[in-house]
Amino acid sequence: MPEPGLDTDHRPSPDALLERARQETRGRFKIFLGAAPGVGKTYEMLQSGRNRRREGVDVVVGVVETHGRADTAAMAHGFETVDRRIIDYRGQRLDEMDLDAILTRRPALVLVDELAHTNAPGSRHPKRYLDVLELLENGIDVYSTLNIQHVESLNDVVAKITRIRVRETVPDSVIDRADDIEIIDLTPDDLIKRLHEGKVYLPKTASRAIRNYFAPGNLTALRELALRRTAQRVDQQLLHHMQANAIRGSWPSGDRFLVCVNESARAPELVRYAKRQADRMRGPWTVVNVDLPQAARFGDSQKDRLAATMRLAEQLGAQTLTLPGQDVVHEILTYAQSHNINHIIIGRVEKPRWREWMEPPVSSELLRKAGDISVHVISGRGTAAGPRIPRAAADRAPFSLRPYALATFYVAAALGLGYLLSQTLDVQNIAIVFLMAVLTSAVTAGRWPALYASGLAALVFNFFYLDPRHTFTIRDPESVVALFFFFGAALLTSNLTARVHSQAAAARARARMTENLFLFSKRLTVAGTLDDVLWVSVNQIASMLHLNTVILLPEGSTVTVRAGFPPDDTLVDADIAAAQWAWEHNRPAGRGAETLPGAKRLYLPLRTGRMTVGVMGLDSDRPGPLLTPEQQRLYNALADLAALAIERIQLVDDLDRARLAAEADRLRSALLTSVSHDLRTPLAGIKGAAGTLRDYRHAMSEDDRHDLLQTIEQETDRLSRFIGNLLDMTRIETGLTEPNSTLIDLDEVIGATMTRAAAILSGHRVQVSVPADLPPLRIDPMLTEQVMFNLLDNAAKYAPPATLIHVGAWRDGGSVVVQVRDEGPGIPPQDTERIFDMFTRVGKQDYVQAGTGLGLAICRGFVEAMGGTITAANRRDRTGATFTLRLPVPPAPHIPPPEAP
């Protein structure tokens, strides 16, 4: 076991505790997972439900599909079953699980078959697994079934195995939420036997399935996928259990590898060795680098080697991680214990024996403290991991005398201050003054100047304050001891102070980075358009990484520059090819990459969990690698935020397009319904009258022929109005309604309308009151006439025969009000605004007048196009509807005064 004191934090993981708390408030979820159809998932689910019912649990069947299998139907017999909900869709009656009925019934356990099922249009959720999630959130336990080919992350793998792509899938997050997964497994021979016996499909379908999907090789591969996916979920559950209960150490539940690397040239060798071991043991592996304070002093070559090692690990499929800390052994073992790591791989450093005694190798410390964790020490020369990493001579910072001169000044100041204190206050312990100079040197100048100050302070203290004074000779043995301990204390405090100072500087740098990331995320959150997101992203990345930045987004089959900082949209052919390759292959390309390194920029794909949204291009005028390991981590964080923001904008646009498409589909459906019902009536009248005239014209009287011709004329006019309304509505919806406005008197438009509507108003009394002094209006005469005609047609349609239809107009301030009133049944109060919607027709009780439901929608569209408004209300003096138009009065034209003679 790890030695005491190694890990002082034995608290449970907060994330694991939160997950446990969420599980306690929702229902338990169990999935019966099969490798292929026909293995008996539904039967086993029913059997488990029957066992729970014997235990006194309230169990109901939400939906079970027996597929004609007698044994499954027999097992389902006797369960209480919630009736399914019937949905009418395009003339078909579809039955779906009634989610609301189950929530109302609220059983303890509900059985839901076929988790990946797609619900019929009109259901609350498009997928059945969403229904299941709602049941779980309401505290109801759920048993469900699923085949491995329906798992989203395995969809492509299954398609390659079976050459059949399954369209209905379930996100992996749903499987990860399952509390239990039970594998329902059959050997390929047993499953094929069931197929032959007709227990899965009909004989003709079964023989075709055996030749294709149910080939023995396919079934074996699918069984392996099912077992592996279940093992992953069980492994996650074990890890959450250990974290929630603060269980340390490793449990031998599976092989997990942790590889410790640094900037050494041997680090890639360790990564490749770990890859081979992980493949051999079929276990996950993680590559970790402990970011010590000393790493801040690394040179460019060391940082580049470390970055290359981490990139190699990612390319080989490892999870990469950087752990900031002070002690390599402590950080590695803490991570290993909290993530149930049971194999640690580290390189061994060849050192002289005296140096190993002074500075124990990390591998030796790990072997001593690892406990039950296996430590693989890979021998070789060079540095593999350790708390102290020397820098290459070529990477050392240029030597400067300024810090040492500053340390000398502090020691001289301490000498002067000590002299004043000894002369005025008779202070005996002057050494503390020199110790303060050493600490000041450590804080302001760094470690090596502080060590220099320690030695200089010891010499000055000896020369001026130890007898015999003004010599470096020490006569008193007590003074020798005092000087020795002073020098040791100065070395120790200077080293500790310099370390704390470097740690504080690193903490400040991380705090600044965190603050910048937070501000960046806030700016992305408030950005409402794609251009805003792109500009914020390139500006932030360029300013924080000090690199020239461009973002390219896909347009069709290519990517184009959408934003850049500094603004520069020109790309040479090599850069265009590199950006296109990075987009198509989802891998880096260009400068410093393995593909197309001759490009000016390095192109990195912008990825989210769903997709690649674009490409980021980076370049700099300075030679060498573009990104250090620290900058690479910072870029990853910035790029992830930018990619998520771009995806958010694109999802909003997709949602808007989907909404518009749904609205267009609804309009098309309503239009087809209207055409099929309302346009058929006048066509039937015309056809009937024309057929009667053709067949019986010689036997009919002149009056009968006149009536039939009049019917044809009336129905033709009616059909013409319907088609005209449809065309007018199309003009409004497509934005092609441009009023041809001119100054005209309103009484002229109303007079023309009354003449046009004489036929439809023949059965009513009409009263028109329009004052002669109304000002002329700047309106489109044709549109206004159509509006008035539609209002009169609506009044004639709904008002009883012989009732009064009143048309009035008057001036009200800066507007002219036109009002059409009838004596019909009026408008239902809840529909006074809705009647202006397309394809909306309202009526009293079960009676609705025939029509397309477009007339009033056209009125509103035309009136608003001319700058007016239209409203509907019920009359107060009696029953009836009132439609009120308000049209603006144009300003009076300016007439210049006559010129003086």
Specify which residues 312 forms β-bridges with: none
Q: What was the pLDDT predicted at 384?
A: 40
Q: Is the dihedral of CA 371, 374, 378, 384 positive or negative?
A: negative
- 163, 167, 170, 171: CA torsion to nearest 10: 80
Of 639 and 724, more confident? 639
**Could you tell me the pLDDT band of residue 6, with boundaries at 50, 70 and 90?**
very low
Question: Cα–Cα–Cα angle for 743, 749, 752, nearest 5°?
Answer: 145
Average pLDDT across the chain, whole number: 76
pLDDT at 845 over 50: no
Which range has the top average pLDDT, 50-64, 336-350, 505-519, 781-795? 50-64
Residues contacting residue 98 through CB under 8 Å, at least 6 positions apart: 82, 83, 84, 85
Of 687 and 884, more confident? 884
Q: What was the pLDDT predicted at 671?
A: 57
Nearest Cα residue to 255 out of 226, 240, 235: 235
Q: What was the pLDDT predicted at 2?
A: 42
Which range has the top average pLDDT, 392-396, 420-424, 491-495? 420-424
pLDDT at 238 over 90: no
Q: What was the pLDDT predicted at 335?
A: 84
Q: What was the pLDDT predicted at 58?
A: 93
- pLDDT tens digits for range 780-834: 888 888 889 889 988 888 889 989 999 999 998 889 999 999 998 888 888 888 8
Q: What was the pLDDT predicted at 203?
A: 53
Q: What was the pLDDT predicted at 404?
A: 80
Mean pLDDT, residues 333-340 taken together = 79
pLDDT at 347 over 80: yes
pLDDT at 696 over 90: no
Mean pLDDT, residues 511-524 taken together = 82
Q: Return d(Cα 724, Cα 732) in angstroms, integer.
A: 12
Note the Cα 537 to chain centre separation in Å.
17
Asked whether 617 and 588 are in contact (CB, 8 A), the reply is: no
Residues contacting residue 157 through CB under 8 Å, at least 6 positions apart: 225
10 Å Cβ neighbour count for 25? Answer: 9
Strands 777-779 and 765-769: unpaired
**Could you tell me the pLDDT band of residue 142, with boundaries at 50, 70 and 90?**
very high
Asked whether 449 and 432 are in contact (CB, 8 A), the reply is: no
Asked whether 854 and 840 are in contact (CB, 8 A), the reply is: no
Residue with tokens 């007439």: 895
Q: Average the pLDDT over each of 7-21, 215-229, 477-491, 608-622 and give the range with the smallest value.
A: 7-21
Q: What was the pLDDT predicted at 886?
A: 92
10 Å Cβ neighbour count for 146? Answer: 24
pLDDT at 140 over 60: yes
Q: What was the pLDDT predicted at 849?
A: 56
Residue with tokens 């009513």: 764
Q: What six digits make up the tokens of 223?
A: 């069984």
Strands 285-291 and 257-260: parallel
Asked whether 647 and 611 are in contact (CB, 8 A), the reply is: yes
- pLDDT tens digits for range 390-418: 333 333 445 677 778 887 887 788 888 87
Nearest Cα residue to 850 out of 859, 858, 841: 841
Q: Return d(Cα 619, Cα 104) in angstroms, integer.
A: 61
pTM: 0.44
Percentage of the chain surpassing pLDDT 90? 9
Radius of gyration of the chain (CA): 42
